[in-house]
Structure 1
Amino acid sequence: MRARQWARDLAMGARFAFTGGREGWVRVLLTAVGVGLGVALLLLTTAIPSALNVRHEREEARLDYTYSSKRVPKADDTFVIADTDTVFRDKDVRGRLVEPEGPRAPLPPGLATYPAPGEMAVSPALKELLASDGAKLLRERLPYRISATIGESGLIGSRELAYYAGAEGLAAKIDGSRVARIDAYGDPNPTPSETDPVLVLLVLVVFVVLLMPVAVFIAAAVRFGGERRDRRLAALRLVGSDSGMTRRIAAGEALAGALLGLVLGTVFFLIGRQVAGSVEVLGTSVFPSYLNPSPLLAVLVAVAVPAAAVLVTLFALRGVVIEPLGVVRTARPARRRLWWRLLLPLGGLVLLYPMIGQGRNNGNFNQYLVTGGVILILVGITALLPWIVEAVVARLGSGAVAWQLAVRRLQLSSGTAARMVNGIAVAVAGAIALQMLFAGVQGDYTKNSTNDLTRAQMQVGLPHGYPLAMAAEKFRETKGVGKVIALSGDYIGDRRRDPEHTTQVTIGDCTALREVATLPACHDGDVFVLRGGEYDTDTPTLATAGRKMYFDPSYGDSPGAATPWTVPAHLKQAQSIDDPTGVRRGGFLLTPSALPGTAKSVRGQIYLSLDESVTDVREYVRNTSAGIDTTVDPMVWAATQQARKFTSIRTGLFVGATCVLALIGASLLVSQLEQLRERRKLLSSLVAFGTRRRTLGLSVLWQTAVPIALGLLLASVVGLALGAVLLRMTRVPVVVDWASVLAMTGIGAAIVLVVTLLSMPPLMRLMRADGLRTE
């Protein structure tokens, strides 16, 4: 019977929402749009794991191990493939040369046929790029005719740049490194990857931090237009409803807005999914079909949002007395109590405490404790902020007229003011904690490069046997290239097969050799033995005049050239110094004439110093490299290198944070407009009595600025505390990244400023005299 009464009252409230005239429709639409934005972002977020899984599956399905040591014999189901990856203006281009060797050679994913020699199949994004005016240098690097488009099954993202080009004669270039013969795509021996507890912790915290502001916003959205709705409910008391029935009818109105919000949220999600297929954020793109929310999570959202609408409305009305002749809201309410509000963050700390000092060596962090602890700490912000706003504004005193108007409004409705900024406070607190966590652990995933960027900025590895001098001359003629250091090298051993002692050999002219050692007089034909090399224990044993050595000896079943070479009688001494890569070499230094003519295994390395003032200088270098051999992949030197998984998580954070901040801005704007709409008559009355519009505009600014300042201050404190706890959990010293803290609070303040400026034009319209008209 009680359930039937609840259902009847909720249904009546939903009917009132849609049949209550313009006022009811406006409120329902405000709630629906707010809830819809939140639901859309929740659905997009819950679809992220699915998108990542599909990307991983597509990547796995097209794997081709060109660096495998396994030798596959030629057959009618084999093909030769060459890795020709390149980069164009900081965008990765995945490239492959393919040559089927029989009719049963498996097709690359996304292709219907193999491209003929001189033709290529390209991704839609690469086709678009090649057709643009600014891609002249890339077109020179890829001199193939476009004959087909790679299908979605062969790509990991809608904006991925990729191509398969047909070739012939690739078998002669098989080297077990970038060119290989294989008979299948995919990983033949998939093994589960080891999970890093710290990375798992990062993912958990990222998801909680991104979803919490959305949940807070949805809870605030169902209360849009609450004050005007409560006054309308007084009429229900006049016709005989009791207070319980009135509250259930109010919850029914909120439920109607939430259900409509679910519909709008689904529409927004479908639109957002299509838009996601045409954009790229921080180098990451997806196809719309990837973004499929988990059915269980989608059902959870569909149930949780309407339920939250009902519960939040009933909770909000607990302190409101709705009588037949009006709503008692303006009487001085009881002061908010602090003790229970402190229990939430303290409870979160209690849940996280058992994992303090665990680090990455004591197993995975308990995901339930981590999730629950972080949620309680962030929810604690929404509980503490109303108390802080009330306590502060109660003590604010006199000032200018605009200030007094703002303070009085805040004193009358501090809870409403706090609700407006709860979402942004939670977002900023979570962002500060995450920035601290990322800054604290990034040293474990970032390796400082030993490369000397003052001597070279790019490195090019030449194919085996390619003339070093010829390559060096081509790079000297390349636009924007300054100094060219050309060195080649190999290993020599004391036996043809399975040598007991080995050492390094570096070949180059005298100028190039002085980049790796301090030389005495040097002439072509000289041979030097290096002293002071790192980890060089065999050179003193091998540096004996007349001793027979072998270039590229073989090990086990792997073949080697094993070219003989005799240590000359007149060896010169040289002191090793840091080479351009920061390594002190050992072994022997040979000038070109001292190299045996039959040594085919030596491979050249070119180190290039660039004139950075030349536009696209790296593209010119890459084009020169492609002219030498399409498999040559020049390396751009950087001061640091970061682990790929860590970088992916950080990229996901930035993408998600961008969406959340956009939602926060939209929610603040909708909330601000709703507040202004409710005060339309009051604003018009103040203008009619002579209040200047500028004064009212400043009062609105102060009404926003004061709670935002308090919210950002609380967010900073909570964010720093949460960040410190997370760092202690990962067993990393607690260091505050003040630049990130200031950046996050600055972004929050900037969003509020933009929202306030956008709300000024509607404010000016609401101050017109016709706002006093009523029916």
Structure 2
Amino acid sequence: MRRWGHDLALGTRLVVGGGPTAWLRLAMTAVGVGLGVALLLLATAAPTILAGHRARSDARDFAFTDGPATAHTVLIRQTPGSYRSHRIHGVLVQPDGADPSVPPGLARLPRPGEMVVSPALRQLLAGPDGAELRRRYPAARVVGTIGDAGLAGPREYAFYLGTDRLTGEGHRITRFGTDQPRQPLDPTLLLLTVVGVTVLLVPVAVFVATAVRFGSAARDRQQAAPRLVGADRAMTRRIAAAEALLGALAGLVVGAVLFFAGRQLVELVEFDGISVFGSDVRPQPVLAALVAVALPVAAVAVTLVALRRVVAEPLGVVRQEAGRRRRLWWRLAVTALGLAVLVLAGVGRDGAGGLKLQATVAGVLLLLAGAAVLLPWLVEFVVRRLPGAGVSGQLAVRRLQLDGGTAARAVTGITVAVAGAIALQTVFAGVSHGYVHRTGPAASRRPVVIENTVPMTAGQRARFAARLRHTDGVRRVEAYGSDTVAAVDDPDLFFSVVVADCATLRTFAALGDCADGDAFGVHDPDARAPRPGEAVRTTDSPHGARLRLPARLRTVAARSDPSGITHAGLLLTPAAARRLPVLGGRLPTSGFVATDPAVPDAYDHVVTTTMRVDPTASVFSLQGTQVDARFDTVRRGLLLGAIAVLLVIGASLLTTVLEQLRSRRRPLAVLSAFGARRRTLTGSVLWQTAIPMFLGLLLAVAAGLVLGAALLRLARETVWFDAAGILGLTGAAAAVVALVTLLNIPVLWRMMRPEAMRTE
């Protein structure tokens, strides 16, 4: 240990006193490592981010109660949850007594006509984009702002609106806040989450290892000087490791600065409606300490392993790898071992149906590592057989033949990242059938649903439908009254009741002939149809009013409505409903609205019209597919992580290419001085990047498909590949590499000047 300490101290002194070149090399290493450290710290903060978001959401959540009204209870009703592309958390509140429960972030409940809004919503309402939203609540006055404790994120749109119209229409709660335990993720979603985190962090580790090797050629050449004054080979390697250690330590500082600087700006960023408070972005101490300790140790280990084939002599450096071909068998063995581990993980399921996640993570790591170690062999194998077209092609191929390992290291991170992304894309495509459901073609024809308005008479319902028809962007309106009755002879048997004209009733059943005054009993395979003249009772109270169904009741087959629901029960035309006084009076109104796709804000116009009639109504938009909420959360979280990794990869790759150009500045300047045209040298650099990139992406697609298929087999799903998604991911990675290469062209031209031939 004493010898190690002495040699590392000597190496540090050589770097510090090595002049501008050594300082520049150290700075580039620090920046490259720092970018990876910042992302690793963000990953260690993910648990606290999720915990903070969950705590804030639970603190303002509520659980309904059937108890009586007290001084602390509150009637609430949630309002439509979106405005244009913004999700809105809106709640109508009406206190039952003088001391009501207050949600976090508010000092008191707003009175009728008062509104308390989030800072982001206040800004939206004050701007021109909030004009339509202001029309929904014209009488509401903004009297306060929701504090951070009552918001899921700083960019969230939320409001609490006071009202006095919820009596009989709202849900009663005793307090805000819930501590109900959350259901754990099912094995498939747990597999997606664990694999996703793994494949996102592996490329970061690869880039950190690559950044530690910045300036390795110049560092290796400097080993000749200590050898000249008597140092042995082991000592020179320890001295060389000191620079890598110093760069890793500097990278830790840079990464910490980038992380804490980014934490101050994170509240300005919103992704798919998700924003995060900077105070929630806190790295877990144990994980952060692990990064701080493991990174310098890894830097030294990577340097020592890389120097195994470098022999430093007093008169120069000899690389033993020159002329030796890389061996393939052990690289394939890593991949085969990863597949074997995944197979064993699939066989070894526990009794609860869960997966052996540790074995799964190990298998994924081995497969991605197999792709990383296969790339240098593949580059060497291909470039040995490339003839090289033109002068620029010959220069590029010859350079790759002499030092293909450096070029392969530059795109290894891209290869691993794309392989992991393709595997995730394959798994998502394979398991989506269990979480994504099609709602049917009717949802696209009538995409807006209105439910549970205040009870209306037939005349009020007709006037409401007329207002909707005159709303901008509305093509068709189907409004109906609805209720529920129970069979007297079988109290557990309930029938839905729909009152509407014949055109609207055809939405729920195949009627055939229909005229005002007809009544229909809907037959459903899962429940019997109501019988003619059957005695039923209303369900609005424990002892509801009794009535008899019409004696003439035609039985018809059920049909799913646009929302995918089958109404097994009773369909009444207005004249038939008037003969049943209880059902012919005031009924809650619902409906389906067909909008014009050419009017982008048609949905918001429908919501505004509905809210101006009844602010307690529920309005929502039907989509062509219905996505499970947890599946969507996992997918969005992994997508956000993939974007962050892609940005770090791009920045790190930019630093890598800059370092490679700097190390070759003198040969480029010499070639330019001897008459090589700028276009030729630029083309050679582009070819040097394009060939490894193409091979890396080809290997990434193969590795990603193999890993994705293995994970689908592990999840007991059918193997299916999303060709469009794979092409999109591959194209995005190629675009990142191409953009980084083009950004380096001005630096390349600067290095072709004669001044670049100067040396120290």
Q: Distance in 1 between matches of 2:723 and 2:349?
A: 24
SS in structure 2 at match of 1:165: strand
Q: Compared with structure 1, are the counterparts of its residues 502 and 107 closer, same or farther at alpha carbon in structure 2 (3 Å cutoff)?
A: closer
Instruction: Give the Å deviation of 1:706.
Output: 0.8
- Residue 338 (structure 1) aligned with residue 338 (structure 2): no
In structure 2, what is the equivalent of residue 145 of structure 1? 141
CA deviation vs aligned residue, 1:644-696 (integer Å, no higher than 9, x gap): 11111110111011011111111111111111111111111001111111000
In structure 1, what is the equivalent of residue 536 of structure 2? 549
In structure 1, what is the equivalent of residue 27 of structure 2? 29
Match of 1:281 among 241, 248, 271: 271
SS in structure 1 at match of 2:418: helix
Matches for 1:372-451 after TM superposition, within 5 Å: 372-450=362-440
Matches for 1:591-606 after TM superposition, within 5 Å: 591-595=573-577, 596-599=580-583, 602-606=587-591
**Would the aligned equivalents of 2:456 and 2:586 in 1 still touch at CA under 8 Å?**
no
**Would the aligned equivalents of 2:117 and 2:144 in 1 still touch at CA under 8 Å?**
yes
Instruction: Give the Å deviation of 1:294.
Output: 1.1
Q: Compared with structure 1, are the counterparts of its residues 561 and 456 closer, same or farther at alpha carbon in structure 2 (3 Å cutoff)?
A: farther
In structure 1, what is the equivalent of residue 485 of structure 2? 492
SS in structure 1 at match of 2:442: coil
In structure 2, what is the equivalent of residue 182 of structure 1? 173
Deviates more, 1:214-223 or 1:575-584: 575-584
**Would the aligned equivalents of 1:451 and 1:582 in 2 still touch at CA under 8 Å?**
no
Deviates more, 1:743-752 or 1:329-338: 329-338
Letter in 2 for 1:717: A
**Would the aligned equivalents of 1:498 and 1:553 in 2 still touch at CA under 8 Å?**
no
Instruction: Give the Å deviation of 1:391.
Output: 1.6
Match of 2:670 among 679, 685, 693: 685
Q: Distance in 1 between matches of 2:548 and 2:443?
A: 37
Match of 1:512 among 492, 504, 507: 504
CA deviation vs aligned residue, 1:470-509 (integer Å, no higher than 9, x gap): 32122112111111111222233342x9626543322112
- Residue 80 (structure 1) aligned with residue 75 (structure 2): yes
Instruction: Give the Å deviation of 1:534.
Output: 4.2
Deviates more, 1:284-293 or 1:108-117: 108-117
Deviates more, 1:503-512 or 1:159-168: 503-512
Q: Compared with structure 1, are the counterparts of its residues 531 and 589 closer, same or farther at alpha carbon in structure 2 (3 Å cutoff)?
A: closer
In structure 2, what is the equivalent of residue 753 of structure 1? 738
- Residue 763 (structure 1) aligned with residue 734 (structure 2): no
Q: Compared with structure 1, are the counterparts of its residues 341 and 575 closer, same or farther at alpha carbon in structure 2 (3 Å cutoff)?
A: closer
Q: Compared with structure 1, are the counterparts of its residues 531 and 308 closer, same or farther at alpha carbon in structure 2 (3 Å cutoff)?
A: closer
Q: Distance in 2 between matches of 1:200 and 1:51?
A: 18
Q: Compared with structure 1, are the counterparts of its residues 531 and 660 closer, same or farther at alpha carbon in structure 2 (3 Å cutoff)?
A: closer
Instruction: Give the Å deviation of 1:113.
Output: 2.6
Note the aligned Cα RMSD (angstroms): 2.2
- Residue 452 (structure 1) aligned with residue 442 (structure 2): yes
**Would the aligned equivalents of 1:527 and 1:590 in 2 still touch at CA under 8 Å?**
yes
Deviates more, 1:514-523 or 1:435-444: 514-523
Matches for 1:43-192 after TM superposition, within 5 Å: 43-65=41-63, 68=64, 70-143=65-138, 144-170=140-166, 172-173=167-168, 175=169, 179-187=170-178, 190-192=180-182
Q: Distance in 2 between matches of 1:605 and 1:180?
A: 19
Instruction: Give the Å deviation of 1:638.
Output: 1.2
Q: Distance in 2 between matches of 1:568 and 1:101?
A: 41
Match of 2:690 among 683, 702, 705: 705
Q: Compared with structure 1, are the counterparts of its residues 520 and 311 closer, same or farther at alpha carbon in structure 2 (3 Å cutoff)?
A: closer
**Would the aligned equivalents of 2:349 and 2:356 in 1 still touch at CA under 8 Å?**
no
Instruction: Give the Å deviation of 1:423.
Output: 0.3
Matches for 1:296-695 after TM superposition, within 5 Å: 296-329=286-319, 332-356=322-346, 363-450=353-440, 452-453=442-443, 455-467=445-457, 468-495=461-488, 499=491, 501-519=493-511, 522-524=514-516, 526-530=517-521, 532-539=523-530, 542-544=531-533, 547-550=534-537, 552-553=538-539, 559-560=541-542, 562-571=544-553, 577=559, 579-581=561-563, 585-595=567-577, 596-599=580-583, 602-695=587-680
Letter in 2 for 1:370: T
Q: Distance in 1 between matches of 2:673 and 2:268?
A: 51
List gaps (5 residues or longer) in structure 1.
none
Q: Distance in 2 between matches of 1:398 and 1:256?
A: 40
Deviates more, 1:597-606 or 1:476-485: 597-606
Matches for 1:159-238 after TM superposition, within 5 Å: 159-170=155-166, 172-173=167-168, 175=169, 179-187=170-178, 190-238=180-228
Deviates more, 1:500-509 or 1:638-647: 500-509
Instruction: Give the Å deviation of 1:601.
Output: 7.1
**Would the aligned equivalents of 1:36 and 1:262 in 2 still touch at CA under 8 Å?**
yes
Instruction: Give the Å deviation of 1:214.
Output: 0.2
**Would the aligned equivalents of 1:259 and 1:306 in 2 still touch at CA under 8 Å?**
yes
Instruction: Give the Å deviation of 1:150.
Output: 1.3
Letter in 1 for 2:472: K
Q: Distance in 1 between matches of 2:128 and 2:740?
A: 38
Q: Compared with structure 1, are the counterparts of its residues 89 and 575 closer, same or farther at alpha carbon in structure 2 (3 Å cutoff)?
A: same
Letter in 1 for 2:666: K
- Residue 241 (structure 1) aligned with residue 231 (structure 2): yes
CA deviation vs aligned residue, 1:205-252 (integer Å, no higher than 9, x gap): 001000000000000001101111222221121222221111111111
Instruction: Give the Å deviation of 1:449.
Output: 1.0
Q: Distance in 1 between matches of 2:513 and 2:411?
A: 74
Letter in 1 for 2:521: L
SS in structure 2 at match of 1:453: helix
Q: Distance in 1 between matches of 2:387 and 2:571?
A: 82
**Would the aligned equivalents of 1:198 and 1:359 in 2 still touch at CA under 8 Å?**
no
Q: Distance in 2 between matches of 1:501 and 1:126?
A: 45
Letter in 1 for 2:32: G
Letter in 2 for 1:553: T
TM-score by length of 1: 0.93
CA deviation vs aligned residue, 1:64-88 (integer Å, no higher than 9, x gap): 23xx3x3232222222222224310
Q: Compared with structure 1, are the counterparts of its residues 570 and 395 closer, same or farther at alpha carbon in structure 2 (3 Å cutoff)?
A: closer
Instruction: Give the Å deviation of 1:415.
Output: 0.9
Q: Compared with structure 1, are the counterparts of its residues 18 and 100 closer, same or farther at alpha carbon in structure 2 (3 Å cutoff)?
A: farther
Deviates more, 1:20-29 or 1:106-115: 106-115
Letter in 1 for 2:5: A
**Would the aligned equivalents of 1:223 and 1:313 in 2 still touch at CA under 8 Å?**
yes
SS in structure 1 at match of 2:62: coil
SS in structure 2 at match of 1:322: strand
Q: Compared with structure 1, are the counterparts of its residues 311 and 239 closer, same or farther at alpha carbon in structure 2 (3 Å cutoff)?
A: same
Deviates more, 1:279-288 or 1:572-581: 572-581
Q: Distance in 2 between matches of 1:530 and 1:78?
A: 41
SS in structure 1 at match of 2:497: strand
CA deviation vs aligned residue, 1:14-44 (integer Å, no higher than 9, x gap): 2222221101110000000000000000111
**Would the aligned equivalents of 1:117 and 1:167 in 2 still touch at CA under 8 Å?**
yes
Q: Compared with structure 1, are the counterparts of its residues 609 and 401 closer, same or farther at alpha carbon in structure 2 (3 Å cutoff)?
A: same
Pairs aligned (count): 753
- Residue 42 (structure 1) aligned with residue 40 (structure 2): yes
Instruction: Give the Å deviation of 1:432.
Output: 0.6
Match of 1:720 among 702, 705, 717: 705
Letter in 2 for 1:385: L
